[in-house]
Amino acid sequence: MVDDPGRIWRRAAERRRAGLDGDRIAAAALRLADAEGLAAVSMRRLAAELGAGTMSLYRHVSGRDDVVELIVDAAWGSEPPPAPTGDWRADLRALAGRTRRILLAHPWLAFEAPTRPRFGPNALRQTEASLAIARQADQDIDRAAALLDAVMSFTFGAVQRELAERRAERNSGLTEDEWRRTIGPYLREALAGGDYPHLRARVVDGADPDHAERFAFGLDRVLDGIGAWLAAVRGER
Amino acid sequence: MVDDPGRIWRRAAERRRAGLDGDRIAAAALRLADAEGLAAVSMRRLAAELGAGTMSLYRHVSGRDDVVELIVDAAWGSEPPPAPTGDWRADLRALAGRTRRILLAHPWLAFEAPTRPRFGPNALRQTEASLAIARQADQDIDRAAALLDAVMSFTFGAVQRELAERRAERNSGLTEDEWRRTIGPYLREALAGGDYPHLRARVVDGADPDHAERFAFGLDRVLDGIGAWLAAVRGER
DNA sequence: CATCGATTGGGTACACCGTACGCATCCAGT
DNA sequence: ACTGGATGCGTACGGTGTACCCAATCGATG
């Protein structure tokens, strides 16, 4: 067998039949990741959290990667995907909003989820629901997939940026202003040279953007672009 | 001192004055990361690559995080940012294209770069150039930053998806088709149930999308949306 | 009820990781 | 020539994932 991405999920189904604790592992790991970050989810730590021996975990999970795969899917399952209502624009917006909410609720997820395609039950349900929504805009599966991809690409990218900024704020002092004074010595020196007029304008004159507002702005641009394109495609027919 | 993100870059400047080998470390680390992935860049391995003792690295770099920060900036410096030409749409497209090229050339970068804001010399130059381009579309710094953010959010998200798919293809067998047969046992079972009609349509009837084409499609939608918005804003004035 | 097979729990050990600390060496400026 | 600071680096500690193997337990069967 070359590589079997379906392994864990088949196994999970079997376990459920046998009634064992693959779920407990996932639940404990998710709790740990949310509380102390994904790095804190080590096999030893996780086992300790469950009051079990480290190697016992390997009976239910084939390694740490499996644990991560499990909690990624569990996180996606924390809020059901929205159902199509007939208004593709509103539905796509709701879908993006749900995605952002979930990513913000599990800050490790945004950096782990996009590393490879996932096939957990919740991921499957979610993809299905997303395609159902996208096909309201265009029944053609390839065009629907393409426009969904554009929306989701933006969503992930935007939330990652948001999380990175949030983390930077958390890390150094407290406020965005405080942070500026921390990086100050270096950045001020760089800006003082006059080599970066636009950067300087952004830092000095620019307003601190509201994250939610930023997200909504970008999303609206994407949806506008998709709307215009749909109109053009329909016009051609 | 709470936390000093400018530290390494100040230090780099001093080193250059003193003429030491902070650069050699960065160059070797970048080579290693590109050849064997970021995970292969360990302090021991890196030192061995340089024919030096492990702890010698700590004279020039305050830890592994510094090494990563150095190679991230070095990677951004591998292609100069485009200069404004007067056509904001073409320039933003060129900027996104350059970003995609760099991210694809250093596959580890797409997953490392967005974790926090960077302030290396190349990152600074790049931000400056990007803002210069964005301000061609709208002189207002906040609006320019907002539209640039939308473009870059999409770009990062899209390339991450692309890399994830590429990796999945690499990992299991060879072709996309081969991959489908690998995941087959599990996915086929899931699709056979009839619970996922849209997903099934995508897998069975859908075409394998060309990555570059997908990227161009999404980017065009974003740029269209921005164009329409700019026209509306200008109309209001 | 006794017995046997399979399934599960877990301890030990190995090879890696980042890095704190302190000692040896070398080179520059006086 | 001497001396002080910069530099190289060996050792050691606490962490990581997990391969391997033995003990215990549980279920079904005779």
Higher pLDDT among residues B140 and B208, named by residue = B140
pLDDT for the residue B15: 40
pLDDT for the residue A237: 66
pLDDT at residue A175 tops 50: no
Per-residue pLDDT tens over the stretch B33-86:
999 999 999 999 999 999 999 999 999 999 999 999 999 999 999 999 999 999
The closest CB to that of A131, out of B128, B145, B199, belongs to B199
Structure-token pair, residue B127: 């931000």
pLDDT at residue B221 tops 80: yes
- Mean residue pLDDT of chain B comes to 86
Residues of chain A neighbouring B4 (CB-CB closer than 8 A) = 182-183, 185-186
R_g of chain A, CA atoms, integer Å: 22
pLDDT for the residue A173: 47
pLDDT for the residue B205: 82
Residues of chain B neighbouring A195 (CB-CB closer than 8 A) = 128
Grade residue A65 by pLDDT with cuts at 50, 70 and 90. very high
Residues B117, A164 contacting (CB under 8 angstroms):
yes
pLDDT for the residue A191: 75
First to last CA, chain B: 47
What average pLDDT does this structure show over A141-156? 97
pLDDT at residue A174 tops 80: no
Alpha carbon distance B144, A226 (integer Å): 21
A107-121, A194-208, B167-181: segment of lowest average pLDDT: B167-181
Query: Residue A159: closest CA among chain B residues belongs to which residue?
Result: B153
Q: B186-191: list long-range contacts, CB under 8 Å, 24+ apart.
A: B186/A4, B186/A5, B186/A6, B186/A7, B186/A9, B186/A10, B186/A119, B187/A6, B187/A119, B190/A119, B190/A124
Q: Which nucleotides of C are covered by protein (CB under 7 A)?
A: 8-12, 16-22
Task: Name the nucleotide nearest B21; use CA and C1'.
Answer: D7
Question: pTM score, two decimals?
Answer: 0.89
Per-residue pLDDT tens over the stretch A107-140:
999 999 888 778 889 999 999 999 999 999 999 9
Q: How far is B51 from chain A (nearest CA, A)?
A: 31
Q: What one-letter code names the amino acid at B136?
A: Q
Grade residue B169 by pLDDT with cuts at 50, 70 and 90. low
Higher pLDDT among residues B20 and A91, named by residue = A91
Task: Name the nucleotide nearest B55; use CA and C1'.
Answer: D9
Q: What one-letter code names the amino acid at A106?
A: H
Alpha carbon distance B45, B29 (integer Å): 9
- Reduce the DSSP state of residue A95 to 3 states and report it: helix
How many Cβ atoms from other residues are within 10 Å of residue B85's Cβ?
A: 11
pLDDT for the residue A9: 60
Q: Do B146 and A196 touch (CB under 8 A)?
A: no
Q: Name the percent of chain B lying above pLDDT 70.
A: 82
Grade residue A22 by pLDDT with cuts at 50, 70 and 90. confident
Burial of residue A225, with CB atoms counted within 10 A of its CB: 0-12 exposed, 13-18 middle, 19 or more buried: buried
pLDDT for the residue A13: 46
Residues of chain A neighbouring B154 (CB-CB closer than 8 A) = 150, 153-154, 157, 218, 222
A32-36, B54-58, B111-115: segment of lowest average pLDDT: B111-115
Query: Residue B221: closest CA among chain A residues belongs to which residue?
Result: A225
pLDDT for the residue A17: 32
Query: Residue A207: closest CA among chain B residues belongs to which residue?
Result: B142
Q: Do B114 and A164 touch (CB under 8 A)?
A: yes
pLDDT at residue B99 tops 90: yes
pLDDT for the residue B83: 96
Structure-token pair, residue A114: 């996009």
Alpha carbon distance B168, A5 (integer Å): 10
Q: How far is B225 from chain A (nearest CA, A)?
A: 4
pLDDT at residue A18 tops 60: no
What average pLDDT does this structure show over A70-97? 97
Grade residue B20 by pLDDT with cuts at 50, 70 and 90. very low
Structure-token pair, residue A3: 């590589």
What average pLDDT does this structure show over A95-116? 94
Q: B173-176: list long-range contacts, CB under 8 Å, 24+ apart.
A: B173/A2, B173/A3, B176/B208
Taking alpha carbons only, the member of A12, A14, A37, A11 closest to residue A23 is A12
Higher pLDDT among residues B200 and A188, named by residue = B200
Residues of chain A neighbouring B158 (CB-CB closer than 8 A) = 149-150, 153, 157
A22-26, A105-109, A183-187, B63-67: segment of lowest average pLDDT: A183-187
pLDDT at residue A171 tops 70: no
What's the Å distance between residue A8 CA and nucleotide D10 C1'? 44
